[in-house]
C-alpha cells in the first residue's frame, strides 16, 4: 500500500469520526436546550454508545497501522496531514490506554451527570450530585494512572486542554497576577468613587433581551447562516460542523448583563469556529488550538470589545430603546461605568474583569487538591466556601451559588478552568500586538466597524485551527512568549481610571 493510499484512508477515517461527532454534538445541544426530560436516560445511553464508537475508531488496530506507516514517512506528507497525524497519534496514545468498556461507562456517566447537576443546582443540594462527582473523579484518577505524568498528577489533565502548560507554569503566572489584582481590588473596595448601578437590577423582559442578543451577534459579525441562538441553563457554544456553530445564552430578567455579555462571550467562540480554514474541515485540526486560545477569543469579544467605552457610546441607545423606563436619566458614560463595576462576587460568570481571575484560581487550587488526594468529595463545599472567603471576602449562602454554580465537573472537565485565566492573558497580549497594526482600534469600536478587528484575529488565530500549539500561536501572533504583564497593565489602567 502506497503512502498516498494510507493517507487517503487516514483522512477518510478522520472525516467519519467528524461525522459521528456532529451527531453527538447535535444530541448534546438538544439535551441542553429543551429535550424532553423523560428521554434523558435514553439520550445519555445513545451519546455513550456513539462516543464509544468514536473511541473505537480512534484506538482501533487499523488506526494504529495507519499511524505507524504515516509516522515513519511523515516528513514527505503535506503539512496539514503531518499535523493531523501528530494530533491523532497523541490521541491514540492516550485513549488506547483506557479499556473501551471503561470509556463507554465513563461517557454514559457524564451524560447522566449533567442532568443530575441541573437538578442539584435547582435544589441547591450538593448531596444529590456528590455520588456522580465521586465516580467521575475516580474515573479521572484511573485515567491519569493509565496515561502517566511528570511532576504533579494534575499536569496530565492540563495537557488535555492546554498542551505545554504545567502546574509549575500556572503557579508562577497566577502568583504574579494575584500580587497585582488583590491590592488593586482592595483599593477599589475602599474608594468612594462608585458607579450608580441602581438601574441594573430593574425588570428587563426576556424577549427584549433576546432581541438585543440577536442584534449584537449580527453587529459583531456572527453569521446566522452558519449558526443560531438558543436559551439554556448555563451558556455555551457548540460547533456541529464548520457551517454550524451555535451559541446559547441564559436570560435573567433582574440582571440583563448575564444575557448581553454572556452572548457576546459565546459570540467570540463561534466567530473563531466560523473562520477556521475550510481546508481543515472534516479533520482533527478543524477546531480551536486549545481551550485557552478559544477563551482568548470569547474574552476578547466580551471584555475588550463588549465592555469598551466606545462600544456603549455607539450602542447605549439600543438599550434605551429596548427598555426606556429602566434607563431613564442614565447616560452612556454612566452605563459604561455600571457594567464595569468591580466588587467581590459569588458567581464566576457574572464576575467583573478584575476579580474574574480570582474565581479561576480558586477552582484551580481545588482541582489540584482533588487530584493530589488532599480533599474528599464530601469536603468540597466547605473548602469552596473557605477559599471564597479568603480570596474574595464573600461566603456562598448555599450550594447553588457555591460549589454547584459551574457545569464543568459534571462533564469530567477537570483541568479546563485554568484555560479561562490563560485565555485572558492571551487576549490581552493579542490586543497589545493588534494595536501595532490597528492603532485606530478605539475608533473602530466606536464606529461599530468590527471587520478589521475580526480580520486581524482571523489572520493571526482563527484560520489556523489546530495547526499550532497554544504557546506557539501566541509567539507567532505577538512575537514573544506568554507575558502576564499585558493583562496586569490593562486591568491597572482600566480600573484606576474608573475608581481611583
Q: What is the pLDDT at residue 1? A: 57
353 Rama class: left (phi>0) / alpha (psi -120 to 50) / beta: alpha
Tell whether 269 is in a known binding site.
Answer: yes
- Exposure string over 308-338, b if 16+ CB within 10 A, otherwise e: bbbbbbbbbeebbebbeebbeebebebbbbb
For the residues of 315-359, what is the DSSP string, one character each? Answer: HHHHHHHHSTTTTTT--HHHHHHHHT-----S-GGG--TTTHHHH
CATH 3.40.50.1980 fits 167-499, yes or no: no
Percent over 90 (pLDDT), the chain: 93
3 pLDDT above the threshold of 90: no
Cell of 135: 465516580
Rounded Cα distance, 6 and 66, in Å: 6
Q: What is the pLDDT at residue 350? A: 81
Catalytic residues: 266
466 pLDDT above the threshold of 60: yes
* pTM for this model (two decimals): 0.92
What does the mean pLDDT of the chain come to?
Answer: 95
User: Could you tell me the CA-to-CA distances from 461 to 258, 272, 428 in Å, in that order?
Assistant: 27, 8, 14
41 pLDDT above the threshold of 90: no
**234 band by pLDDT with thresholds 50, 70 and 90:** confident
Q: What is the pLDDT at residue 395? A: 96
Rounded Cα distance, 312 and 260, in Å: 12
Please write the tens of the pLDDT for every residue from 334-357.
999 999 999 999 999 889 999 999
What does DSSP say about strands 244-249 and 229-231: parallel, antiparallel, or unpaired?
parallel
Q: What is the pLDDT at residue 343? A: 92
User: What average pLDDT does the segment 62-83 reach?
Assistant: 95
Tell whether 295 is in a known binding site.
Answer: yes
**422 band by pLDDT with thresholds 50, 70 and 90:** very high
**371 band by pLDDT with thresholds 50, 70 and 90:** very high
**202 band by pLDDT with thresholds 50, 70 and 90:** very high
Q: What is the pLDDT at residue 161? A: 94
Q: What is the pLDDT at residue 233? A: 84
Q: What is the pLDDT at residue 439? A: 98
Please write the tens of the pLDDT for every residue from 424-434.
999 999 999 99
User: What average pLDDT does the segment 307-331 reach?
Assistant: 96
Cell of 472: 506557539
113 pLDDT above the threshold of 70: yes
The contacts of residue 390 (CB under 8 Å, 6+ apart) are none
Q: What is the pLDDT at residue 328? A: 94
Q: What is the pLDDT at residue 100? A: 86
Percent over 70 (pLDDT), the chain: 99
Q: What is the pLDDT at residue 19? A: 97
Q: What is the pLDDT at residue 2? A: 63
Rounded Cα distance, 98 and 110, in Å: 16
Rounded Cα distance, 117 and 405, in Å: 9
Amino acid at each position: 500500500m502506497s503512502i498516498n493510499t494510507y493517507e487517503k484512508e487516514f483522512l477518510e477515517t478522520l472525516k467519519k469520526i467528524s461525522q459521528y461527532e456532529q451527531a453527538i454534538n447535535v444530541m448534546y445541544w438538544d439535551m441542553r436546550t429543551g429535550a424532553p426530560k423523560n428521554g434523558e436516560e435514553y439520550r445519555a445511553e445513545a451519546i455513550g454508545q456513539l462516543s464509544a464508537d468514536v473511541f473505537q475508531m480512534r484506538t482501533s488496530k487499523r488506526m494504529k497501522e495507519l499511524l505507524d506507516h504515516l509516522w515513519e514517512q511523515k516528513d514527505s506528507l503535506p503539512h496539514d496531514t503531518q499535523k493531523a497525524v501528530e494530533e491523532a497519534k497523541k490521541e491514540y496514545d492516550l485513549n488506547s490506554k483506557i479499556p473501551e468498556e471503561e470509556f463507554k461507562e465513563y461517557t454514559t456517566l457524564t451524560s447522566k451527570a449533567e442532568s443530575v447537576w441541573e437538578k442539584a443546582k435547582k435544589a441547591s443540594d450538593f448531596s444529590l450530585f456528590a455520588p456522580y462527582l465521586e465516580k467521575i473523579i475516580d474515573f479521572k484518577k484511573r485515567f491519569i494512572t493509565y496515561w502517566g505524568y511528570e511532576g504533579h498528577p494534575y499536569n496530565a489533565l492540563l495537557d488535555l486542554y492546554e498542551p505545554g502548560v504545567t502546574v509549575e507554569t500556572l503557579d508562577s503566572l497566577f502568583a504574579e497576577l494575584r500580587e497585582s489584582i488583590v491590592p488593586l481590588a482592595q483599593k477599589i473596595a475602599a474608594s468612594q468613587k462608585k458607579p450608580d448601578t441602581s438601574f441594573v437590577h430593574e425588570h428587563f423582559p426576556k424577549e427584549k433581551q433576546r432581541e438585543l442578543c440577536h442584534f449584537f451577534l449580527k453587529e459583531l459579525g456572527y453569521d446566522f447562516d452558519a449558526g443560531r441562538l438558543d436559551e439554556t441553563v448555563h451558556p455555551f457554544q457548540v460547533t456541529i460542523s464548520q457551517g454550524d456553530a451555535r451559541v446559547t445564552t441564559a436570560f435573567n430578567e433582574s440582571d440583563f448583563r448575564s444575557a448581553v455579555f454572556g452572548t457576546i462571550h459565546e459570540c467570540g467562540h463561534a466567530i473563531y469556529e466560523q473562520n477556521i480554514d475550510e481546508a481543515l474541515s472534516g479533520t482533527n485540526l478543524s477546531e480551536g488550538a486549545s481551550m485557552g486560545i478559544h477563551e482568548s477569543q470569547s474574552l476578547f469579544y466580551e471584555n475588550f470589545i463588549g465592555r469598551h467605552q466606545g462600544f456603549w457610546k455607539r450602542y447605549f441607545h439600543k438599550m434605551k430603546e429596548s427598555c426606556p423606563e429602566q434607563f431613564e436619566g442614565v447616560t452612556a458614560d454612566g452605563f459604561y461605568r455600571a457594567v464595569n463595576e468591580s466588587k467581590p462576587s459569588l458567581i464566576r460568570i457574572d464576575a467583573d474583569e478584575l476579580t474574574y481571575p480570582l474565581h479561576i484560581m480558586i477552582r484551580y487550587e481545588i482541582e489540584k487538591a482533588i487530584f493530589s488526594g488532599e480533599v474528599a468529595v464530601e469536603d468540597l463545599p466547605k473548602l469552596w466556601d473557605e477559599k471564597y472567603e479568603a480570596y474574595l471576602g464573600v461566603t456562598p449562602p448555599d450550594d447553588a451559588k457555591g460549589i454547584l454554580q459551574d457545569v464543568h465537573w459534571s462533564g469530567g472537565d477537570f483541568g479546563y478552568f485554568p484555560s479561562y485565566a490563560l485565555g485572558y492573558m492571551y487576549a490581552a497580549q493579542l490586543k497589545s500586538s493588534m494595536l501595532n497594526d490597528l492603532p485606530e482600534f478605539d475608533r473602530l469600536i466606536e464606529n461599530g466597524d468590527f471587520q478589521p478587528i475580526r480580520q486581524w484575529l482571523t489572520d493571526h488565530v482563527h484560520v489556523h485551527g489546530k495547526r499550532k500549539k497554544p504557546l506557539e500561536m501566541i509567539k507567532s501572533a505577538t512575537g514573544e512568549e506568554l507575558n502576564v504583564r499585558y493583562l496586569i497593565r490593562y486591568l491597572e489602567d482600566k480600573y484606576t481610571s474608573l475608581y481611583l
